[in-house]
A = this chain, B = another copy of it.
Amino acid sequence: MLPSLSSQMIELAHQLADASAEVIRGYFRRKLIVDDKADASPVTIADRAAEQVMRELILQRFPTHGIYGEEMGVIASDAEFVWVLDPIDGTKSFITGKATFGTLIALLHHGQPVLGVINQPILQERWMGGTGLPATFNGETVTVRPCDNLRHALLYATSPEMFQGADRAAFERVRVATKHTLYGADCYAYALLSMGFVDLVIEASLSPYDYCALVPVIDSAGGILTDWVGQPLGLHSDGRVIAAGDRRVYEQARHCLL
């Protein structure tokens, strides 16, 4: 473990997941008002209340840490440690009653993701990874699986409409080269990749709160997660993401994306 990543931080990450899950469970499959954000994506009281409870816990425990939340903005983004929060990644799934959304919790140290949690509140499933830590699913160590060739790979993307312009054609080149393509899973696809049931996830139009928490989970599980040109993901990435469990599939898929 990094000296900078303390057991208190790991403990807080679990507390954030527990507290947000309790909030979210109270709103799942209820009749909710769904508001449109500026980008036309949906948001509900569940998103806002879950982020609020996490922000309060962080401020109580580590008042000098920064917070970058999807729904309630940024404070102290230049702090040594910054928590990046997406209370409900997959709000469209959430509002349709489908439990493949997740709460994403990342801790960044000098801008690099060092701890990540993917939490599914309804199914009570939690994936965690971090620098020097194993990837875990509900406390049990998980790893990616080998896949020797793109033509054997199972590929996920949330929606083909997330790819703009030439990115759509690039995605299509990968899609037709894989075994099967599945849609609609948001962060859940990366969680399944970390435990060896999915080989490849390719997405675009993501924001830092969508991918920062995924980095430590995939890294700790032995997988690869970068932008489309092979650079590590950080707060200033362009939102195009590729995750793979096996470097052979990663390289072949990136070749198709070029």
* Chain A interfacial positions (CB closer than 8 Å to B): 29, 42, 92-93, 95-100, 123, 154, 156, 158-161, 180-185, 188, 192, 195, 197-198
Whole-angstrom distance between the alpha carbons of A93 and B189 in the complex?
10
Collect the chain B residues with CB atoms within 8 Å of residue A192's CB.
Answer: 96-98
Please determine whether A182 and B96 come into contact, CB atoms closer than 8 angstroms.
Answer: yes
Pairs across A and B, CB under 8 Å, 6 listed: A96-B197, A98-B185, A98-B188, A100-B100, A159-B182, A184-B185
How far is B185's CA from A158's CA once the two chains are assembled, in angstroms?
Answer: 11
How many chain copies does the complex carry? Answer: 2
Cβ A198 vs Cβ B123 within 8 A: no
Rounded to whole angstroms, the CA-CA distance of A251 and B78 in the bound complex is 54
Residue from B100, B181, B195, B198 within 8 A of A159 (CB atoms): B181
Q: How far is the CA of A92 from the CA of B197 in the complex (A)?
A: 11
Complex Cα distance, B6 from A163, in Å, reads 51
Contacts of A42 in B (CB 8 A): 180
On whether the beta carbons of B180 and A182 are closer than 8 Å, the reply is no
- B97:A100 contact, CB within 8 angstroms: no
Which of B29, B123, B181 is close to A99, meaning CB atoms less than 8 Å apart? B123
Q: How far is the CA of A233 from the CA of B244 in the complex (A)?
A: 41
Residues of B within 8 A of A93 (CB): 182
With the chains together, A181 CA to B42 CA distance in Å? Answer: 12
Measured in the bound complex, the distance between the Cα atoms of B100 and A158 in whole Å is 14
Assess the B156–A96 pair: CB atoms within 8 A. yes
